């Protein structure tokens, strides 16, 4: 059976009822959703959903090897940026490094579950895919 997961921006832009039955929720996405919840009521709703996905065995949780691989991919992405800038490492926009780290962690852990990552953040995930092979799909095409 094919499995799917989404990055945070894709989850925010969709109704949860649109998600396929064979959907696995990333704990990284739940962390981002809970951290940015507008109030405690929404944060608690995300926490209940987290527990439900956890209970159903449909929660992707990065393990130690995922963290190590994410570190490698982030290193390779930095080296690639440095190479493209002829030895100079261009500064990223504020918060970009953190967002990239979380996206890489989503991708690496989804790979272990053989889950396709659905995203609208195509460029970042495509760059990650160059160093870590995982399945990727555009949200605009997936949710037609």
Q: In this structure, what token pair is assigned to residue 105?
A: 């962690």
The torsion of the CA quartet 89, 132, 140, 91, rounded to 10 degrees, works out to -10
Half-sphere exposure of 64 (CA within 13 A, CB side): 0
Question: Quick check: pTM over 0.85?
Answer: yes
d(CA 33, CA 46) in angstroms, rounded, equals 7
Each residue's pLDDT tens digit, 44-76: 999 999 999 999 999 999 999 999 999 999 999
d(CA 129, CA 144) in angstroms, rounded, equals 23
- What are the residue boundaries of the structural domains of the chain, listed by start? 3-142
Asked if residues 60 and 24 have their Cβ atoms less than 8 Å apart, the reply is: yes
CATH class of 3-142: alpha beta
């Amino acid at each position: 059976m094919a499995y799917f997961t989404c990055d945070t921006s894709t989850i925010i832009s969709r109704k949860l009822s649109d998600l396929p039955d064979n959907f696995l929720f990333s704990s990284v996405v739940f962390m981002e959703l809970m951290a940015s919840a507008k109030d405690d009521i929404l944060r608690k709703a995300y926490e209940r959903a987290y527990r439900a996905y956890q209970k159903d065995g449909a929660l992707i949780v990065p393990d130690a090897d995922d963290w190590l691989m994410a570190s490698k991919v982030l290193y390779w992405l930095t080296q690639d940026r440095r190479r493209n800038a002829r030895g100079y490492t261009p500064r990223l926009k504020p918060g970009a490094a953190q967002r990239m780290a979380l996206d890489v962690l989503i991708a690496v852990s989804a790979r272990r579950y053989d889950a396709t990552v659905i995203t609208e953040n195509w460029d970042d995930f495509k760059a990650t895919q160059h160093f870590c092979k995982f399945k990727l799909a555009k949200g605009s095409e997936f949710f037609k």
